[in-house]
Amino acid sequence: MNTECWNPERELITRDKLEALQEKLFLETVQRASRSPFYRKKFEETGISIKDIKSLSDITKLPFTTKQDLRDWYPYGFLTVEKEKLVRLHVSSGTTGQATAVFYTRKDIESWAELMARCMYMTGARPGDVFQNMTGYGLFTGGLGFHYGAEKIGLLTIPSGAGNSKRQIQLMRDFGTNVIHIIPSYALRLMDVLNEMGINPRESLDLRIGYLGAEPYSEEVRQRVQEFYGIKAFNSYGLSEMNGPGVAFECTYQQGMHLWEDAYIMEIVDQHTLEPVPEGTLGELVLTTLSREGMPLIRYRTKDLTRIIPGQCPCGRPHRRIDRIQGRSDDMFIIKGVNIFPVQVEQVLMSIPEVGTNYRIILKKEREIDQMIVQVEVTDKVFVEDMRHLQRLQKKIASELRSELLVTPIVELVEPNALPRSNGKVQRLIDMRCN
């Protein structure tokens, strides 16, 4: 086998050595985590003495960590180092009640970049390639995560960020972009723009490789994207709590995503009982960090549903593969690459006095653009007011939702009791997109 690797020692490590390494790093991680205010308290409350954690199999003695824990201990409750050692933070969308923050030391940034370099190199990206990174920079991890990995390999990196489709296309043409990172729904949107401009990317662009992730999508979408752009498209999985992208990634065989097991311990558990499921069975992915210095997380419930793909990948990497994410075990949804919890919408709406008690979120696609429509029942008093007042209210709601969610919704005001109720309850979220 001739598998080219960025880090052959780690990527082609034997399974035995990998498990020994995991155990060593796991025990260090537990020690380190116990210094954070959150884990110190958690271990105390649950009667855990780290002396009892002696091997990898003891992981099941440890409690799970949830997004709610991150919210409750926001902003600094998970830190294991002094602030002087931190060089970066990323924050999820949402105002304080819902926000989560993730911190990185210099070493964390370095090991994250190393993981990202592995991912991209594994798919064939090499110095001399031009890489256009079309996801959000700033507080999103997708932009800077890929950026650092690409520069580490030595790709000519264009930090084009999200949006501005015509300029994206111009950059691809001018600089001969051949590697792209793009959110799947945006790849579909960009197809429309290219069609409108009469550009056939197979003839007019030099694209070869695409990284698609940050939201769920189907094999059919991958095929459409590959066909239209003339690229090989690789699934990319990650989450801010685990650095960001670079947790699991497809190799050239495109048969599931290798999860880097020297950096993360993976467990797949039944979403209700939280007991481990047999290999190959769908369940919730639970991750423990092994190389995070500033903010290690133990048994973090990702709420993402997937399964381990049994067997060895033809590429020879022993890091086990996970399947395409099948959904979530909570009610979070993702639109335009942005994560949203319905409760965030509710909190904004309920803080506006003119808004009644009922609302509905409808997600749909219009000309390949994801749309979030928020239908809001207003109070009786408001409904009889003049149009100008209603328009002002509509704008106000849209603007407050945008600043909370980071995407622009279409707000529709409806009269009191206009939204359907079944058994007195409204179905809050209707997702009409098909990915």
Nearer to ligand AMP, 301 or 360 (CB): 301
**27-35, 218-226, 237-245, 378-386 -> range binding ligand AMP (CB under 6 A):** 237-245
In whole angstroms, what is the distance from residue 192 CA to residue 365 CA? 13
Residue list 209-268, contact with ligand COA (CB under 6 A) = 214, 244
Query: Does the protein bind ligand AMP through residue 141 (CB under 6 A)?
Result: yes
**100-108, 157-165, 249-257, 267-275 -> range binding ligand COA (CB under 6 A):** 157-165
SS (H, E, C) the chain: CCCCCCCHHHHCCCHHHHHHHHHHHHHHHHHHHCCCHHHHHHHHHCCCCHHHCCCHHHHHHCCCECHHHHHHCCCCCCCCCCHHHEEEEEECCCCCCCCCEEEEEHHHHHHHHHHHHHHHHHCCCCCCCEEEECCCCCCCHHHHHHHHHHHHHCCEEECCCCCCHHHHHHHHHHHCCCEEEECHHHHHHHHHHHHHCCCCHHHHCCCCEEEEECCCCCHHHHHHHHHHHCCEEEEEEEEHHHCEEEEEEECCCCCCEEECCCCEEEEEECCCCCCECCCCCCEEEEEEECCCCCCCCCCEEEEEEECEECCCCCCCCCCCEECCCCEECCCCEEECCEEECHHHHHHHHHCCCCEEEEEEEEEEEECCEEEEEEEEEECHHHHCCCHHHHHHHHHHHHHHHHHHHCCCCEEEEECCCCCCCECCECCCEEECCCC
| Distant-in-sequence, close-in-space partners of 52: CB < 8 Å, separation ≥ 6 | 58, 61
Question: Which partner in ligand AMP, ligand COA, Zn ion, none is near 236 (CB below 5 to 8 A by kind)?
Answer: ligand AMP
**66-74, 79-87, 236-244, 380-388 -> range binding ligand AMP (CB under 6 A):** 236-244
Residue list 237-256, contact with Zn ion (CB under 5 A) = 251, 253
Nearer to Zn ion, 36 or 306 (CB): 306
Question: Which partner in Zn ion, ligand COA, ligand AMP, none is near 313 (CB below 5 to 8 A by kind)?
Answer: Zn ion
The four Cα atoms 177, 178, 184, 190 give a dihedral, to 10 degrees, of: 40
Question: Which partner in ligand AMP, ligand COA, Zn ion, none is near 21 (CB below 5 to 8 A by kind)?
Answer: none
Determine which residue in the list 313, 338, 361, 419 makes contact with Zn ion, applying CB under 5 A. Answer: 313
Query: Does the protein bind ligand COA through residue 170 (CB under 6 A)?
Result: no
Residue list 252-311, contact with ligand AMP (CB under 6 A) = 302, 304
In angstroms, what is the minimal distance from the CB of 411 to ligand COA?
13
Query: Does the protein bind ligand COA through residue 162 (CB under 6 A)?
Result: yes
Q: Which tokens go with 208? A: 């070869």
Question: Which partner in Zn ion, ligand COA, ligand AMP, none is near 74 (CB below 5 to 8 A by kind)?
Answer: none
Query: Does the protein bind ligand COA through residue 38 (CB under 6 A)?
Result: no
In whole angstroms, what is the distance from residue 249 CA to residue 119 CA? 6
The four Cα atoms 221, 227, 230, 236 give a dihedral, to 10 degrees, of: 20
Site string for ligand COA, 356-395 (x = CB under 6 A): -------------x--------------------------
Nearer to ligand COA, 187 or 315 (CB): 187
Question: Which partner in Zn ion, ligand COA, ligand AMP, none is near 235 (CB below 5 to 8 A by kind)?
Answer: ligand AMP
Question: Which partner in ligand AMP, Zn ion, ligand COA, none is near 216 (CB below 5 to 8 A by kind)?
Answer: ligand AMP
Determine which residue in the list 155, 162, 315, 374 makes contact with Zn ion, applying CB under 5 A. Answer: 315
Determine which residue in the list 336, 341, 345, 348 makes contact with ligand COA, applying CB under 6 A. Answer: 336
Query: Does the protein bind ligand AMP through residue 325 (CB under 6 A)?
Result: yes
Nearer to ligand AMP, 274 or 332 (CB): 332
Determine which residue in the list 78, 121, 237, 300 makes contact with ligand AMP, applying CB under 6 A. Answer: 237
Tell me whether the omega of the peptide bond preceding residue 75 falls within 30 degrees of 0, making it cis.
yes
In angstroms, what is the minimal distance from the CB of 356 to ligand AMP?
31
Instruction: Assess contact for 137 and 245: CB atoms under 8 A.
Output: no
Residues at the contact surface with Zn ion, assessed by CB under 5 A: 251, 253, 313, 315
Residues at the contact surface with ligand COA, assessed by CB under 6 A: 134-136, 140-142, 162-165, 183, 185-186, 189, 193, 214, 244, 336-338, 369, 406-408
Residues at the contact surface with ligand AMP, assessed by CB under 6 A: 141, 213-216, 235-240, 244, 302, 304, 325, 328, 334, 339
